[in-house]
Amino acid sequence: MPRQLRQGLALVAVAAATFLTGLGATRLWDDDETFFAQTAREMFERGDLIVPWFNQELFAHKPPFMYWMMIGAYRALGVTEFAARLPSALFAIASVLLVWRLGRILYSPRAGFWAGIVLATSLNYIVIARAATCDTELLFFCTLPIYVLVRATASRREGEGESILDADPRSSSTGASRWSSPGHPAGSATPLFWRNEDACRQPPWTTWALIYASMGMAVMVKGPIGVVLPTAVLGLFLLMQRGRRPSTLESASLVSSHKGMILGMIRDAWQFLAATFSPRHVVQTIWSMRPITALAMTLLVAGPWFVAVGLRTHGEFLEGFFGVHHFHRFTATMDNHSGPVVYYLLAICVGFFPWSIFLKPTCTELVRSWRDSQASRPADRLVVAWLTVWVGFFSLAVTKFPHYVVPAYPALALATAAFLDRWMREPEVYSRFWRRAAWTTVALVGIGVVVVVPFVAQVHLPGEALLGLAGLPLIPGAMACAWLTERRKIGQALASLTATTVVFAVALFAIAAARVDHYQNSPPFGAAIRERCPTGDARIAAFQYFRPGFVFYANGRVEQFWEATPAAEFLRAEPSKSFMVTTEEEYQRIAGDLPRQFGVIQRAPWFLKSGQTLVLLGDTGTTIAERPHAAPGEETK
């Protein structure tokens, strides 16, 4: 079997194990999953592929691509949690393969393989791959334009075979024999490489058209960000690539004194910025990126739906989508999610685990490449531009969520894989102190999960102390990695880390999460309503409480009330078919205003909120005076 095919199958196997195992074992988690899954269901049941609906109202959060994918899964598999999440998992696998192919061109076949592995086993990437959201779809269509540009401008060099897997692509001055090896004779394969002269090459119009068509699909996933940020990545890279001055970038290292080196670095940085962002150079770069083609292709792909939804909703969708969920979200805090400027640096340290243990040497490798013109690679400048745009843009935004910068994870994976590739060739490049610190960090995370989770569970999920065992695989895994590293078996150590992460992910997301899922409120409340009103015409309300998951599992419109009088009037209209969810405290406050036969038909602790109880109210068949008081935790049926 060809090595390239083996790599692809291995990546699919690792990704499938982490993304698909137990994918439908848990109910949907509030809030995004249930918002989007329910919107897709309402569009599906209405037969409406244009206007997104949630709770029988216009839902202006996202464009329709994600919903279309879910609708396709619903048609094939039924309306289930697995079907709602399947598109995310499939696009996550596709993105892993895309990053693998990109890494092969940018760095080397081995680096490309490890870039795919790193992405597939990063903690936050696994989370979004297993969620009914649009993040993996956005990541795919934001990475695809970069791959198209690189693939179109890369070149082949005769005599360089597949054995380049174990070679350093920076040694481009060596002859073909440098790359040949037994079993892979020179000329048996001609892999693509991306050198400085390739990166400066102007691709044809058709390539730019395909690039912007890909961005148009990203717009259909999440809106203008799908074209603005990928274009900014490519633009910043081209500015750096075409405006760079390699002769000045290494001058600081030639200055003997420490003070002189610092002054040299400042001077070189100023010269680099002046050359990169000179007005003439900026204008030339923008024009070379064919802005008219960008506008035309984006409108061609995404324009028809935006026009259709604008006409169907008389502009209401467009006003909410662009005004509230883009401009307002960027300039003001929404959903109580804000954070400092360094928020995403901290989020990456957690979300990129376990590979975040290599961020220090990875950054060092990037700086070394940047400073040394002989080692400088266009791939490194592309990675820097990629990270700068995504992390920098969202660091300036007021509303912050950890998944906002996940489209930058392919860049992190590529940079990390480039370091890992060098480490496997040159084991001494990674100092003993830092590699021991890396494996110690993995072990400490495992110990932390084993020790801390039982205490947290005691507060929110009594009786689930065994959830902490999910962290157990990290401890022997880290020990095995340390043992192999000390014997310079770097490849085996990284394979061990990969296996450890897969086991940890399965234990965390397929086993522990399934245990936690039993305590969710919305599914049992929805089941109780369907049991008492099997005709499907129940009237459902929520008072001083609302979760989109309740809409999904009740599968009906949920009226929201924040004042006691209209809530009581709603229940009095048709008490035999009416139900309401509220908190225990609010129920006690409004009990006197409710219909006489209304009482608690189900109680449950508020999911992951200590000391608070939710109640489902309905017709108990008895009057308040006749009905015995139900203690918390009991049900009256």
Q: What 3 state SS string does 440-490 have? A: HHHHHHHHHHHHHHHHHHHHHCCCCHHHHHHHCCHHHHHHHHHHHHHCCCH
- Give the best-scoring range by mean pLDDT among 11-20, 511-520, 596-605: 11-20
Beta bridge partners of residue 512, listed in sequence order: none
Q: Percentage of the chain surpassing pLDDT 70?
A: 84
pLDDT in the model for residue 76: 97
User: Within its chain, how far is the Cα of 101 from the centroid?
Assistant: 20
pLDDT in the model for residue 321: 84
For range 72-86, the mean pLDDT: 97
User: By three-state DSSP, how is residue 599 classified?
Assistant: strand
Query: What does each C-alpha distance from 316 to 38, 51, 63, 322, 331 come to in angstroms?
Result: 20, 11, 14, 10, 21
pLDDT in the model for residue 168: 46
Q: ∠162-206-210 over CA atoms, to 5°?
A: 75
The Cα 331–Cα 344 span in angstroms is 17
pLDDT in the model for residue 178: 33
Query: Which residue from 533, 534, 525 is spatially nearest to 552, judged by alpha carbons?
Result: 525
pLDDT in the model for residue 591: 86
Please, what's the b/e burial string for 289-320 (b: 16 or more CB within 10 A of its CB; e: otherwise)?
Answer: bbeebbebbbeebbeebbeebeeebeeebbeb
Query: Which residue from 31, 33, 134, 36 is spatially nearest to 92, judged by alpha carbons?
Result: 134
pLDDT digits (tens, 9 = 90+) for 110-129: 999 999 999 999 999 999 99
Q: Give the residue, 226 or 278, on which the prediction is more confident.
A: 226
pLDDT in the model for residue 184: 40
The Cα 403–Cα 136 span in angstroms is 10
For range 331-347, the mean pLDDT: 70
Question: What are the two backbone dihedrals, phi and then psi, of residue 190, each rounded to the nearest 5 degrees?
Answer: -125, 80
What is the rounded average pLDDT for all residues in the chain? Answer: 85
pLDDT in the model for residue 17: 96
Whether the per-residue pLDDT at 632 is higher than 80: the answer is no
Q: Which helix H or strand E contains 61, and what residues bound it? A: none
Query: Which residue from 630, 628, 531, 612 is spatially nearest to 579, judged by alpha carbons?
Result: 531
Q: Give the residue, 556 or 356, on which the prediction is more confident.
A: 356
pLDDT in the model for residue 133: 96
For range 569-595, the mean pLDDT: 89
pLDDT in the model for residue 458: 84
Whether the per-residue pLDDT at 218 is higher than 50: the answer is yes
- CB–CB of 37/132 below 8 Å? yes
Give 165's pLDDT tier (boundaries 50, 70, 90): very low
Q: ∠622-625-631 over CA atoms, to 5°?
A: 80
- DSSP state letter for 628: P
* Helices and strands: H and E segment counts in the chain: 28, 9
Query: Which residue from 407, 399, 401, 317 is spatially nearest to 64, judged by alpha carbons?
Result: 317
Whether the per-residue pLDDT at 470 is higher than 80: the answer is yes
pLDDT in the model for residue 265: 61
Inter-helix orientation angle 359-371/409-425, to 10°: 80
Q: Three-state SS across 173-190?
A: CCCHHHCCECCECCCCCC
Amino acid letter, residue 115: A
Q: Give the residue, 338 or 518, on which the prediction is more confident.
A: 518
Whether the per-residue pLDDT at 629 is higher than 50: the answer is no
Of the given ranges (90-94, 250-254, 489-493, 578-582), which has the lowest mean pLDDT?
A: 250-254
pLDDT in the model for residue 203: 92
Whether the per-residue pLDDT at 571 is higher than 50: the answer is yes
Query: Which residue from 409, 359, 426 is spatially nearest to 122, judged by alpha carbons?
Result: 409
Q: Which helix H or strand E contains 603, and what residues bound it? A: strand 598-605
pLDDT digits (tens, 9 = 90+) for 293-302: 999 999 999 9
Whether the per-residue pLDDT at 304 is higher than 80: the answer is yes
Where are the extended beta strands (E) located within 97-236? Answer: 155-156, 192-193
Give 589's pLDDT tier (boundaries 50, 70, 90): confident
pLDDT in the model for residue 381: 92
The Cα 240–Cα 235 span in angstroms is 9
Amino acid letter, residue 437: A
pLDDT digits (tens, 9 = 90+) for 369-402: 777 666 678 999 999 999 999 999 888 877 778 8
Q: Environment class of residue 204 by beta-carbon count within 10 Å: exposed (0-12), middle (13-18) or buried (19+)?
A: exposed
pLDDT in the model for residue 240: 87
For range 588-593, the mean pLDDT: 86
Q: Percentage of the chain surpassing pLDDT 90?
A: 63
Whether the per-residue pLDDT at 169 is higher than 50: the answer is no
The Cα 413–Cα 114 span in angstroms is 8
> Could you give the maximum distance between any two Cα atoms of the chain, in Å?
94
Whether the per-residue pLDDT at 333 is higher than 80: the answer is no
Of the given ranges (36-50, 222-236, 588-602), which has the lowest mean pLDDT?
A: 588-602
Is 0.95 topped by the overall pTM?
Answer: no
Whether the per-residue pLDDT at 186 is higher than 70: the answer is no
Q: ∠449-453-456 over CA atoms, to 5°?
A: 150
Q: Give the residue, 594 or 410, on which the prediction is more confident.
A: 410
User: By three-state DSSP, how is residue 289 classified?
Assistant: coil
Whether the per-residue pLDDT at 415 is higher than 90: the answer is yes
Residue positions counted in the chain: 637
